[in-house]
Amino acid sequence: MSNSPHLPAVNREWQLVKRPVGWPTPEDFALVEAPVPVPGEGQVLVRNIYLSVDPYMRGRMNAAKSYAAPYELGEAMRGGAVGEVVASNAEGFNVGDHVVHDLGWREYTAVDARDAVTVNGEIAPLSTYLGVLGMTGLTAYAGLLRAASFQEGDIVFVSGAAGAVGSEAGQLAKLMGASRVIGSAGSDDKVKVLLDEYGFDAAFNYKKAPVGEQLREAAPDGIDVYFDNVGGDHLDAALGSLNLHGRIAICGMISTYNNTEPAPGPVNLFRLIQTRGRMQGFLFRDHCDMQPLFVDQVGPWVASGALKYRETVVDGIQNMVEAFLGMLRGENIGKMLVKS
């Protein structure tokens, strides 16, 4: 086994100690000290550099069965991370390599080699492999092309468009030939970013007036594709503006994640009949076969600056819960990350 010298004796990891009811609070989590793990056969020890916080993590804090296993109380939580290999007990991985894996929420972790993917920090910054070139980017790409069957010339509406997935989905639609891209966001500053930086054709602050009213004004000819990150009144509005044979890709419904009562369903689902429309939920993990094509097509756009991205980086693992809660409150522009 190869090792980097001077490994610390103590590792810090975040654990869920109480299942949140409604909005999570800092008291639901604990930052715990644990020994730095020793990698077993076929494992690598990784010092995490960037840790990801994402909306889906809120669902894993509940005990209910979902598409991802719930976090166990009193155990280290999981999430996307990119880090440096500091000890290797696995063929093909060397000390100094950088890898992406899903054992975040901690400083050091032993990762099975089969669950680690080597990335090149010289091609793109390491943080991008958690965002614009990682799970976030593939989610936007697969959602547009597969779940929404995007076609050149489509009019596209993206909710939560200043977030990590939404901002990339809107830009990808423009780069692939959308005739018009509209985004919603929760502040005037975010709307300005969508228009001036990301190249959206129209954008609005959903807190200023009813979403349906603002969408009709921004998309007088209706919409062909709705990329949904929010749900609730945004989904109602999109259904109301849907064109013939329109498609809705359900990526997330962040407006409902902290509800303590079931959210009311859309009041106008009949519009799917009128428009012969389609609504499909999706998860990026069902479309991992697209990863090589995604990187081949999108990587050059990132490298050239044609596809722009922002990151909100919080420093220090001790601030990770606050970063997660801030992301749920919409305080980030682009991908929310923690630098460990």
DSSP 161: T
pLDDT tier at 58, thresholds 50, 70, 90: very high
Q: 289, exposed or middle or buried, with CB in 10 Å at 0-12, 13-18, 19+?
A: exposed
Q: According to the per-residue pLDDT averaged within each range, which of 174-178, 254-258, 302-306, 309-313 is highest?
A: 174-178
CA 288: distance to chain centroid?
Answer: 15
To the question of pTM greater than 0.75 for the whole model, the response is yes
Rounded Cα distance between 102 and 136, Å, is 13
| Average pLDDT score over residue span 200-215 | 97
The token pair at 210 is 């009813």
Q: With beta carbons less than 8 A apart as the criterion, state whether 132 and 307 touch.
A: yes
Domains located in the chain, CATH noted: 2-131+309-339 (3.90.180.10), 135-285 (3.40.50.720)
pLDDT tens for 97-138 read 999 999 999 999 999 999 999 998 888 899 999 999 998 999
The pLDDT confidence band at residue 5, using thresholds 50, 70 and 90, is: low
Look at residue 14 and tell me whether its pLDDT is greater than 80: yes
Q: What pLDDT digit, counting tens, does each position of 235-271 carry?
A: 999 999 999 999 999 999 888 877 777 777 788 999 9
